[in-house]
Each structure stands twice: as structure tokens, then as C-alpha cells.
Amino acid sequence: MNGRARPSSSRQRHWLGFMLLGVVLLAVPFVAAMGGQAWVRIANFAILYVFLALGLNIVVGYAGLLDLGYVAFYAVGAYAYALLASPHFGIHLPFWVILPLGAGLACIFGVLLGAPTLKLRGDYLAIVTLGFGEIVRIFMNNLNAPVNITNGAQGITLIDPIRIGDFSFAQTSSFLGVTLSGPQKYYFLLVALALLVIMVNIRLQDSRIGRAWQAIREDEVAAKACGINTRNIKLLAFAMGASFGGIAGGVFSAMQGFVSPESFSLMESITILAMVVLGGMGHIPGVILGAILLTGLPEALRYGIEPLQRALFGRMIVDPESLRMLVFGLALVLVMRFRPAGLWPSSQRRRELAESAG
């Protein structure tokens, strides 16, 4: 904290931190690849969830609107990509057409959901958004008759990977003497996208709109009295969060090559919300931390629990899959129990909490 007294050294330290972060970000896919491509994919998902969690953070963290159906927008983006770039309809549009389209579509859905529900507050809003998410999922699941649009529960397969000219993200290729596998290429794409969304989040936070959101979060009536058009500003939060979800969905589709309604259950919404809250609502580094931890922890448990049981008991006593989720659930409870404001809350929030407790 003595950096404040010497601004130049603080700035130097900042740059050092950024460079270190850059090196780590560059190294991750190569280090992970040593453990197998599966770990690169896990890293990819962690970043995808960072993206999603930051999108939800706009709605929940900044504007204070509890959204339990966020996954609906993710699903809209994913299905938009899947339908427009797969043999299902025989349409193969390039990604730079579909991703903005998916984002726009998700944005429209966000406004559609937001417009009638703006009057609702707190838990009522939560349950309506939850219902909305379920409706979208049920439609995805059943829109295979009478006209086959989503191919029902089987989902859509053989989705095109992201391709720029002849450069496909699905294949291994090498340039400048470095060989990159498909997942590794997606990793760099995702990092670029994540950096973009982080930048947008940071810029929004201190903008006029961001301050308006925070004002609404703290006290809607007072915000209105201050001349904030609460209706439009809330709609904007929904629309922005939704478009981020839409983009993430498109990338997910392309990366997996397969989508089905199963990927968009309520549990998914809840997991993303848990990332935001567990990390520290409204605080960007906290949300990023939450997303990485909650993606990494279940995977680490997946690989850790089986050998551990064998080492302790000599055989498998409990189904590792359920034990993994059990530990995950317990971790959620324990973290919230001992750090109610999240793992890495913003200093302002920590102060407020200390005041209200004292």
C-alpha cells in the first residue's frame, strides 16, 4: 500500500503485473497441453465462463437485478450459431455474420424478457427470469415437431468450427515454428474475447450508465428522483448482459461442434450466478476468480477423488461423480459461510458489510 506514496513505482509495478499476467496467459495452453488436450479444453471452458459470468455481472452485480434465467440467452446464441452453420438446414454462414446476429437475437430476447418484468423486484424478478429460462429450454427440447427446427433432445451436430479463410480453429496447424492444436487456438480466441468483455466491463463500471445502474441497485426510488430513466437503464442492463450471453453461446457452439438442450438447464444458470456471487458481486477480479474456481474445482475433483479413494480405502467406496458434486455443494456453503461478501469483494462492498454488521 506504500505504492500510493510513490506513484511512479506503483505504475511500474502495474506494468510488471500486466506483463506477468500476459506471460501466464500465454503459457497456460502449453502447460495444460502437457497434461493432455482435455486440460486445454477445461481452460477454454474456464474462460468461456469468465465471459458469461462477466455478462451476468452487469445484470446482477451492477444493476442488482437477480436473473436466474441467464442461460436462456446463452442458449439463444448457441442455437443461432448451430442453425446457421451446420448441415441441419444446410446453411453455412461465416462466424463473423452469426456471432453479431446471435448477440443481437439474444439482446432482443433480453428486452422481451425485461420489458414486462421491469416492475417486479427482487425475488419476483428472480422467479420470472427462472421461468423464462425454463420456457426457452423446453421449447428447444420440443421444437422438432411438426417442423423440425431444433432437432429436439438429440440436439444439433456437425456444427462448423470458426474459420477465417482457410484457417480453421478445429485443426492443428503450425506457424512461426509453433504447433497449435484446435483447443489451443480456441484458447487464444477466447482470451481475446474475454479481454474485450473485461474492458467493456471496466469502462461501463465508471461510465454514466454504470453509475446509473449502481444507483438503481442501491435505491431505485432515489435513483428515479435523481432523474435517471430507470426503465431504459434497466432494459439496457438486460440487453447488454443478454448479448454477452449470446456471443458466448455462439463460441460454445463452434467450439463443441454440438449443442443440445441439456447444456442449458437451470443448473447452468445457477452455476453462473454462483460464480458471480462467490467471487464477489460487482467486482470484476472477483467475478473472474469465481468463474475460474468454479470451473476448475469440479474438474480437479474429478481427477482427484478417484485416486484419493483408492489410496485411502484401496477401492472405490462412493461413486466419484456424486462425491464430486457433494464436495462442490459443500464448498459453496462453506465459502459463503465464512466470506459472505464473496472471495474477493470490492473494497466498497466490504466496508458496507462491516458497517451493517457493526
Binding site for other proteins (CB under 8 A): 60, 64, 66, 116-117, 119-128, 130-132, 134-135, 138-139, 141-142, 145-146, 219-221, 266, 270, 273-274, 277-278, 281, 318-319, 322-323, 325-326, 328-333, 336-337, 340-341, 349, 353, 356-357
Distance from C-alpha of 87 to C-alpha of 66, rounded to nearest angstrom:
38
Distance from C-alpha of 73 to C-alpha of 247, rounded to nearest angstrom:
9
**Closest-CA residue to 206 (of 114, 282, 107, 278):** 282
For residue 101 the three cell numbers come to: 446476429
Q: Are 151 and 144 in contact (CB under 8 A)?
A: yes
Residue 5 or 221: which CB sits closer to other proteins?
A: 221
Nearest distance from C-beta of residue 292 to other proteins, angstroms:
17
Distance from C-alpha of 172 to C-alpha of 178, rounded to nearest angstrom:
11
Residue 158 or 308: which CB sits closer to other proteins?
A: 308
Residue 101 or 149: which CB sits closer to other proteins?
A: 149
Nearest distance from C-beta of residue 134 to other proteins, angstroms:
6
Residue 22 or 122: which CB sits closer to other proteins?
A: 122
Residue 219 or 262: which CB sits closer to other proteins?
A: 219
Nearest distance from C-beta of residue 100 to other proteins, angstroms:
29
Nearest distance from C-beta of residue 135 to other proteins, angstroms:
5
Residue 173 or 230: which CB sits closer to other proteins?
A: 230
Distance from C-alpha of 178 to C-alpha of 302, rounded to nearest angstrom:
31
For residue 92, what are the β-bridge partners? 85
Residue 126 or 255: which CB sits closer to other proteins?
A: 126
Nearest distance from C-beta of residue 84 to other proteins, angstroms:
24
Neighbours of 135 (CB within 10 A): 13
For residue 198 the three cell numbers come to: 473485461
Say whether 316 sits in a helix, a strand or coil: coil
Distance from C-alpha of 139 to C-alpha of 47, rounded to nearest angstrom:
28
Neighbours of 328 (CB within 10 A): 15
Distance from C-alpha of 109 to C-alpha of 113, rounded to nearest angstrom:
6
Nearest distance from C-beta of residue 36 to other proteins, angstroms:
27
**Closest-CA residue to 233 (of 241, 272, 67):** 241
CA dihedral (333, 339, 345, 350) in degrees, to 10, reads: 140
Nearest distance from C-beta of residue 350 to other proteins, angstroms:
11
